[in-house]
């Protein structure tokens, strides 16, 4: 007696079910990773609203600057500590070195 294996409708449906299960797991994993990334960014940024602002406004405008070590800083107009007057950066620094620190000390 010789047995032959035919690929009937049952085997085809089983193959479709396995592929469907694969895509469901893949999609679930990608969505899970996105949720984890959003939660991590929310924790680091402070709130989900801040993450939305970062993604919406900051990321598209980020680019590498053209300044190199030893070059002069561009002349910018800054707001003074009193909050009402403005001054140019070169007016205050002259030929002295300038260190600018962006950060929060609260």
Q: Could you write out the DSSP letters of every residue in 19-87?
A: HHHHHHHHHHHHHHHHHHHHHHHHHHHSSHHHHHHIIIIIHHH-------TTPPPPP-EEE-TTSS-EE
Tens-digit pLDDT profile for the chain (106 aa)?
A: 555 555 555 555 566 677 788 888 999 999 999 999 888 888 887 777 777 777 777 766 666 778 788 887 777 888 888 888 888 888 877 777 777 777 777 6
* The model scores a pTM over 0.85: no
Give pLDDT, residue 26. Answer: 92
């Amino acid at each position: 007696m010789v047995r032959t294996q035919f690929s009937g409708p049952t085997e085809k449906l089983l193959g479709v079910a396995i592929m469907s299960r694969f895509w469901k797991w893949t999609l679930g994993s990608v969505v899970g990773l996105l949720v984890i990334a959003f939660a991590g960014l929310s924790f680091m940024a402070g709130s989900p609203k801040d993450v939305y602002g970062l993604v919406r406004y900051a990321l598209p405008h980020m680019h590498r600057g053209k300044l190199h070590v030893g070059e002069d800083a561009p002349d910018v107009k800054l707001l003074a500590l009193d909050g009402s007057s403005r001054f140019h950066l070169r007016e205050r620094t002259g030929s002295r070195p300038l260190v600018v620190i962006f950060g929060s000390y609260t």
